[in-house]
Structure 1
Amino acid sequence: MNPLPLSSLVPPTNRFLWLWPRIALALFVLAVAGLLWYSQRDALEEQRSVLITDVLWMEQNLHFQFDQAQERLQALARADHEGKVDEAGFRDRATLLLAGSPGVTGVQLFDTAHRRRFSLGPQPELPLDDALKLAAATGRPVYSEVFWDGQEAMLALVVPEQDEFGVGLISLPKLIATQVPWWFTVKYRLQLLDRDNRVLASKSNIETGATPLTYQLALEPPGKGLLLKVSAYPASTGLLRNLLLAAVIGLAAVVLYSWWRLRRHLQRRLQAEAALQAEYAFRKAMEDSLSVGMRARDLDGRIVYVNPALCKMVGYPAEALIGCLPPYPYWEPDSPETLQPHVAPVAGQEARFRHHDGRVVHTMIYTAPLIDAEGRHTGWLSSVVDITEQKRAEAFARQQEEKLQQTARLVSMGEMASTLAHEINQPLMAMSSYASAARQLTVQGDVEQVRPILEKIAGQAQRAAQIVRRIREFVRRRTPHHEPCQLDEVVEDAIGLADGDARSRGARIVARLGAEGLTLSADRILLEQVLLNLIRNALDASDNVASEQRVVEVSTMLEEQGVRVSVRDHGSGISRDAAEHLFEAFYTTKPLGMGMGLNICRSIIENHHGRLWFESPPEGGTLFHFTLPK
């Protein structure tokens, strides 16, 4: 049942009071959210202000290094113009310049014809033509375009002095590496980019996250499209601030959860009283409408509950059953439940009850442990199903199946009547011929020749008696019962019954018996009926094939769990549509067939705890198998 809304349980005059906690909670959540947003925004603004300040300081530091290198290089060029520098003096002055100018890796002096006079450090191919012309035209220091020396980005500083020039080679990665302090790299990632956003030099290449706080500005001088880009690493908030925020959020969650729990508790209390009587009425109606009997017992076997279905099943009112200890008034003396009154079966168990009017009620009992609310085993709860009508239906079905099997045997004998008459007529004709010969020999007085003729007459009489015995046993109606029998003898008798029909059709029955000496506990006549039906079906399937293929093979073979009997023909086989319905009752492919033969055969084999099936060999025909346990 779905719980009723609280608004339908609370009086209308008090419903307005429930709005105040909701409004207060909503305002509290909004205030906390606003506080968090403002705190985060303030922290970001403060971090951005610090970032800009640090970037401007870094820019001034780099400008100072460029200016210092420019002054020293200009002093060297002036001394060279005044003739104060020879090669040794150049090396001394250039060495001091390299040592005092971070990032400067090489120094060169050019004459008025733009030819290199002195050089210290690397001497790459320098793209200086435009820079030298611009410096000569303006008379001011000029920076060249960025060029690459291997994997290293370089920049050339050209300082004019009259018609001579001093050139300093500046390594941008070395400049950044030496001029960026450690505290700067802890907080930021610094990159020097060109106009195509290629990284020329960088410091602290740790990833800054998906959306870092970034600030960039043009580096003037040297210009040439150089950008100084600085990205801040995420700043860790203070521990105290985090604890306060966590406390506020936690308290808000506690207040919200407490209010929700209190509301739920009140709602359930209000619902319980309203729903208790309806729930009781619903359960009582459900129990009274059940057709399955319910019985509850404690651990001592005392009945503590029965439903109306069980009372109707045994004919006693509930007042007469509740409180009873074994033996119960409805027990049969030899019922399984009576023999084991303190054993509670978990699976189904058949039992017979004695109704109050004296009739026997067959039941199936399913019992499960009865567990209370604290998880203790307090007794047993049983479901009792009346299966009396089911038992009657099963008995009637068995009787009908026996009648159907008898009818099938009579039908089979009717179909073989002419063949069996021919089989019996052969020994009778032989006996008549032998009797005539004996009469003539007696008239002639040749008594010695009469003896072997009389023995032949006796043999033919036994042969006729054997045929009659097989027919009588096959068609006689009797109760099925299992008895020891030789399987190969059963097969030979079945072949003997069908052999005459096979010869009349121009067919042969070939036996391959591999179960010699095997004794089974089975109903001999029912097994003969199965074999005769399978052999006759094989003969019917062989009518439309060539005479040399009209061979029915019957074989027996021992297996690990029992024995297998196989019947094979070389006919046209079974179609796919017929195979799906082959074992169904009243399904037949014969014009005058009943459609019960294979269905009865399968029932007989399954009653012997075996299995019947068929196969379609690749070379054609049909092969039926059935197995029987040892």
Structure 2
Amino acid sequence: MPNLALICFLAVGVALLWFIRANERDAQRDALIEDVLWQEQALRNEVLGRQRQLEALAHDYVRGDLSEGAFYGRAASLMSASAEVVAMALSNEYGEAVWSYPEQALEPLQRVPAAMEPVQRAGRIGLPASTPPFDYPGVGPVVAIAFPAVQGNQTRGAFVAVISLKSLLQTYVPWWIAKRYQLGFVDIERRTVAARPEQPLPDSPQSYDIAFDPPGYGLRLRAVALQGGWPVWRHALYWLLAALSGLMVWSLWVLKRHMRERLVAERALLRETNMRRAMEDSLVSGILATDREGRILHANRAFCRMVGTEPESLLGSKPPFDFWSPEAAARCEQVFAAILRGESPANGFSLRFRRRNGERFDVRLYSSPLIDGEGRHTGWVSSMTDVTELRREREALKASHERFVAVLNGLDAAVAVTDRKSGELLLSNRTFREAFRLGDDGPLCALPLRQPDAGGEWHDTIGGRWYQHHRRATLWVDQSQVWLDIATDVTERKLAIDRERQQAEKLQQTARLIAMGEIASSLAHELNQPLAAISSYSTACRNLVANGQITAEELDGALEKIAEQSRRAAAIIRGIREFVQKREPKRSPCRIGDLVDTVLSLLAAPLNRYYVRLVELRLADDVELSADRVMLEQVLFNLGKNAIEAMIDSEPGDRELTLETRLREGWLDLVVADRGPGIDPADVDKLFRPFYTTKAEGMGMGLNICRTIVEHHQGRLWVEERAGGGSRFIVSLPLGPREC
């Protein structure tokens, strides 16, 4: 029995020690996890604190309250107060340093593309970002956090802080944590980045790690227990029998140590609870906890500030609450009833509350179940944010949009915005929808206009309308590439231009017919000479043949001269017919010398009749133009005839017509000058208008037709005062080919 009792005692003792050790392992594991969670939260709060300081710098910079000197002063103050911050800088969207403290602080980041990309992204898209760990010269492993400076829809760069992971551990890991654990950071590949004390962190059952975000990128906070394990009992029965008393004392000592650790854990839990309460009180969103009957259990400071009431006056109260606005009381009652039923949508509720002073404000309320530590549903937690200013801004934006739409729909031009990739119609005004028959609820479609970067006139074959179309590339509100198209209906203008062109063509024909009467006399004079020559040659040939005094060679020469005079007469008649004939403009290569010769032959009769002396300065006779020869002949003929008629009242010795052709920097100038009385300066601007004339019997269409023909050839026609008296009409035509 004693042996059995001893064996049973030892068995019970071994079982007791085994259970104690198992409980101790569980307790240590729980304490390890709890301490790691607390420490991770503390370190993350410090990193977020640095981010909030960067946010304050960004806000001051956007408002214009932060100069370069002020930045250096605040950076120095922040780095002296926070040992983990080793460098600060303001970077642009390309990651280039605008300000940096100390100097060249961003150069180590720029050498690490993986670290530079988040900084550039923060400066480009306007969102906070962090970098993966990387080595910083003289510091060791660091991470960088970047907070953008956003002004409206424009990002003006990002403020960057470089944080040393070693200094973060040295500064913010308390001594009691460092005494119990080896604490450090490991990357996504489980490699040690930084540790306190500095040695690799093993991945063992006595370790626990948790994701550390920011910065993220697989970075984890790991803690490894420093206490030694339980001794290995190779000969458990022998040593238990030999050291039973020692084991009893040992077990008591272990129990005492366990109680001490529990006390430390409770104090740590109390500190964590206080920290959580401080975090809750620092929130700007109001938090309200109620039981399942709607009775208020807890309200944070932010909510009390919203409604202007002390927490003691809220606790224990039930709906209807005093902070409900009377005009919205029914709505508030419906919302809280829905919350008590568990009917809380993901996008929350919009409510109107009132403060103690009677001021109304709008909130956005979100609700979720309140679960206690035992997993029981004990009530509801509601978080709410003051959205009064946000709603006011939205209403102002809506009013601005309505004004914009009203102005856009009031335009006579059709305006549309289309996506450059898909061609989807993003925006259009009423004129556009009516012109292309889309309707207010019509389908979105690709704009049926010209190709990208096109402009000019476009014909709608379905509606039969003409539009003046302008298109340019621009950015849409979401920064996507779009086309802005503006189409103006020019159908009536084109019809008027066509009618004017047709009338001008009829007037040109009329002018040619009128000129035909004047040319008739010159035609008789020009034909008399070749006809007289033909008659003379024929009579001579008959006399010589009758007398037998002519050889076959002489007869052939005489007949050739008769044929030459016949061709000359035919050419004169053909030129007159082409000049009078009505036809469409036809471009072809024409030599300037030939054109001038034809015009001079037509002007020969009036030149002789009025004793006008012709001065020719033909410096560009060999130049060829692609033009309608007959039209240009008509222009020169009209200008020459006008010049001759302008000198009728002058002395015969002063009547001088100058015809000049010259080249000038890619242009050909045809100048017709006279020595007449000149043109009154008051009449110069009206000279080329239709139906304006200074002649008693003139129609007033000659110069207008001349200018129309010249402009049809992409040229210019103008008049100048001639030195010594008279006028100079200048026709300037381009030498190179141009689209008509």
TM-score, length of structure 2 as denominator length: 0.42
Tell which structure's C-alpha radius of gyration is larger: 1
Whose relative contact order is higher, 1 or 2, with alpha carbons under 8 Å and at least 6 apart? Answer: 1
